[in-house]
Amino acid sequence: MSETSTGTLSVVVERQIPYPPEKIWRALTQPHLIEEWLMKNDFQPVVGHHFDLRADWGAVGCRVVAVEPNRTLSYTWEAYGLESVVTWTLTPSATGTHLRMEQAGFRPDQQQAYQGAKAGWPRFLAALEQLLARTD
Amino acid sequence: MPESHDLLFKTLADPTRRAIFERLCREGEQTVAALTARAGVSQPAVSKHLGALKQAGLVLDRHQGRQTHYSAQLGALTPLIDWTSQMAGFWHSRFDALEDLLKRMDQ
């Protein structure tokens, strides 16, 4: 059991960046700039907009969830049948911007097809973690 | 993430299939009939899900007389368990690329 897989399934990366939020916001939201550091895309900063991030190995399907210029950007991230949510938070600091990216776990299932079991992703993964902890 | 994860994740993306797998994890080896008895779906549907789980390496089947017993293979889950560390590595490298871009951008 790896250390990072315990608790909630989310990934957080934070960095102090020596540039103002406005400049970072451009890099996060303008397609030709996004392509330079992330992937080819047809992004638009519009809530509900569907876009793809494309790389040699395949594509990530995304949908814009939240846009608050220079402060917050959030979109779904679906690859390999798993949907997660990526949220960027920009906070001005004395030396520039505190940039935070959180990719949060798996979307709970909308429906439950199997009677007597609640197998939504979060519960499923929690159950597996318990099980794997016992079998160590 | 490598393409080999594709099948595993797609297989487990189905909630019914995931529930069957979870039941095998929790309760140990079971027959199709036993799984069907508590499922909200037909035996052919359960068999189809078990076939998909087997193809992804998530279950093993064992034939005994006319019965087939299925058991969960936890080792096949490693890529899923490693998801967070893999994504963390991906994002750290993207942050590096983002910082490089910011250096090159006009103010």
Condensed to tens digits (0 to 9), the pLDDT of residues A14-23 reads 999 999 999 9
CB within 8 Å: A26 and B18: no
- Point out the residue among B38, B87, B94 whose CB comes nearest to the CB of A116: B38
- Point out the residue among A23, A112, A117 whose CB comes nearest to the CB of B102: A23
Instruction: Report residue A7's pLDDT band, with 50, 70 and 90 as the boundaries.
Output: very low
Instruction: Report residue A1's pLDDT band, with 50, 70 and 90 as the boundaries.
Output: very low
Nearest to A113 by CA among B15, B22, B107, B99: B15
- Point out the residue among A11, A19, A131 whose CB comes nearest to the CB of B102: A19
Among B18, B23, B24, B94, the strongest candidate for a mutation testing the A interface, having the largest count of A CBs within 10 A, is B18
pLDDT beyond 70 at A2: no
Tell me the whole-structure pTM to 2 decimals.
Answer: 0.69
Nearest to B4 by CA among B74, B56, B65: B56
pLDDT beyond 60 at A11: yes
Could you report the per-residue pLDDT of B69-99, keeping only the tens digit for each? Answer: 999 998 888 777 777 778 888 999 999 999 9
Query: Angle B15-27/A121-135 helices, nearest 10 degrees?
Result: 20
Predicted ipTM of the assembly: 0.77
